[in-house]
Amino acid sequence: MTFSSKGSEGTVRRVLTGDRHADLFTPVTAPRAFESVVEQLVLALTSGRVEVGDALPSERDLAEIIGVSRPTVRQAVRALAEAGAIEVKRGSGQGIRVLSTALPKEVTNRVATWRREEFAHFYEARRAMEPALFALAAARVTDAELAAIEAELARELKATLDPKRWPLFGLRLLRMIFRAAASPVLEQTAVRTLLQATPAHDLFEPSDELLRWAVERDRTSVAAIRSRDPVRARASAEARLDEWWDHLVAAMEGRPPLDTKVN
């Protein structure tokens, strides 16, 4: 799934459809249209941008936005309705309404299997951008930004390690580091890619071990930014991404969790 920017394209879609969630969906070009529509619906539901009770674009609008036939959209919508994620009302008051953003594991796993190659592309893109942002942040972070980053880390450290938080864990801290890089275009591109990659976390079996790894990796990242050493910060970002990818590959292959010790 590609999140549209909040610029002209997203604005046009919202105006055309009258729906504030319209820009969650983009045209598909893949021949497997049904799978692509299911992927976009699943990612929309797990993006953090919709809540239970929200209305999604209608089947007609989704077909126009995504560029597929209405029967294809209807088939995908039916699959998500059968999973208990959405409901579809026909006739007066018709529309698609969100029932749950916590999708059954079999649904997210199926989508993740389709998207394995795409996850590899996300990793490659993140590996190209995030180390550069970390290096820039180390060189450019202001005292106020560093204090805010330290405060966010402290909040993380005090928070209860709830495995349910795993998919979104640490995103706020990462975005604060990206912002400290003072490179708006690179930041915005990296944030979009980060959000696109977040559904990959559905492949993991959440555990205290993984959360402890995430906390320690965040601690290491903040220490690198605090050092104001771009080389150290870049290396920290590279290490966290490589470990993330190793964990993800293990999860996709059904292997036991890897050693999560932070060097």
Task: Provide the CATH topology of domain 115-252.
Answer: Four Helix Bundle (Hemerythrin (Met), subunit A) (1.20.120)
- Residue 18: pLDDT band with limits 50, 70, 90: very low
Long-range contact set of residues 74-77: C-beta below 8 Å, sequence gap at least 24: 75/34, 75/37, 76/34, 76/37, 76/38, 76/41, 77/41
* pLDDT higher than threshold 90 for residue 242: yes
Q: Which residue has the tokens 């450290």?
A: 157
Average pLDDT over residues 159-165: 64
Q: CATH 1.10.10.10: which residues of the chain?
A: 8-102
Average pLDDT over residues 74-88: 88
Buried b / exposed e over 7-37, threshold 16 CB at 10 Å, is eeebeebbeebebebbbbbbebeeeebebbb
- Residue 82: pLDDT band with limits 50, 70, 90: confident
Average pLDDT over residues 31-46: 79
Average pLDDT over residues 86-97: 76
Average pLDDT, the chain: 79
Q: Starting from the edge strand earliest in sequence, which strands make up the sheet with 95-98, in order?
A: 55-56, 95-98, 86-89
* pLDDT higher than threshold 50 for residue 9: no
- Determine the pLDDT at residue 162: 66
- Determine the pLDDT at residue 2: 32
Q: CATH 1.20.120.530: which residues of the chain?
A: 115-252
- Residue 151: pLDDT band with limits 50, 70, 90: very high
Alpha-carbon gap, residue 122 to 5, rounded angstroms:
18
- Determine the pLDDT at residue 174: 93
Q: What are phi and psi of 246, to 5 degrees?
A: -60, -45
Average pLDDT over residues 33-51: 81
Stretch among 16-30, 87-101, 172-186 having the lowest mean pLDDT: 16-30
More confident residue, 183 or 21: 183
Task: Provide the CATH topology of domain 8-102.
Answer: Arc Repressor Mutant, subunit A (1.10.10)
- Residue 10: pLDDT band with limits 50, 70, 90: very low
Please, are residues 61 and 14 in contact by the beta-carbon 8 Å criterion? no
- Determine the pLDDT at residue 15: 32
For residue 181, which of 249, 234, 217 has the smallest C-alpha distance? 234
- Residue 19: pLDDT band with limits 50, 70, 90: low
- Determine the pLDDT at residue 230: 98
